[in-house]
Amino acid sequence: MSDCIFCKIISGDIPATKVYEDAGFLAFLDIHPVSPGHTLVIPKQHYDRFETTPPEVVAELYKLLRSIAVSIAAGAGADAFNLGVNNGPAAGQVIFHTHVHVIPRKPKDGLESWGSRDYEGTEMDEVAKKIRAAIKQSAASRE
C-alpha cells in the first residue's frame, strides 16, 4: 500500500528502530512510546485491520508474539507487558496496517488501565445473547 506508513517502514522508505525481522513479520519501536521499549509487531503484508487479516496470519502473528514479547519486556527491564490492538477508529486505531502493541510494564509505572463500569438490570444477559447470536451467524456464514 503506497500511502501506508508501516508499509513504508517495511520497504525502508521510512526509517524505524527495528528489534526483530523475519520473512513475514517486523517488530520496531513505537515512535511515541507509552513506556520505553513499546514495540509494534506487524505482518509484512498489508492488511488494514484485525478482521481483514487472514486467520493464518493472525495465528502466525500471535505465535511470534508468544516467542518475542517476553524478551521485548525483558530488554526494557520489565517482567510484565500489555498486548494491545486498537481495532477501528472508535477504538483509537490511527494506522490502518494490522499491528499489535507490546507495552512493557513495571510496578507503579504510573500507567492506568482503561476504566470499568457496572452492568445495569438485564444489560449483561442481553449483550451476551446478542454476542452469542453474532458468533453463531458468523460461524454459519463460514460453513
- Which residues make up the interface to Zn ion (CB under 5 A)? 1, 4, 6-7, 46, 97
Question: Which residue of the set 46, 97, 99, 101 is catalytic?
Answer: 99
- 101: β partners: 40, 84
The partner in contact with residue 7, picked from Zn ion, ligand 5GP, none with C-beta cut-offs of 5 to 8 angstroms by kind, is Zn ion
Distance between CA atoms of 101 and 81, rounded to whole angstroms? 10
Distance between CA atoms of 111 and 72, rounded to whole angstroms? 18
84: which 3 cell numbers? 494491545
Q: Which stretch binds ligand 5GP (CB under 6 A): 44-52, 88-96, 117-125, 127-135?
A: 88-96
Q: 105: alpha, beta or left, given left = phi > 0 and alpha = psi -120 to 50?
A: beta
Q: Which of residues 31-50 bind ligand 5GP (CB under 6 A)?
A: 31-32, 40
Binding site for ligand 5GP (CB under 6 A): 5, 14, 16, 28-32, 40, 86, 92-95
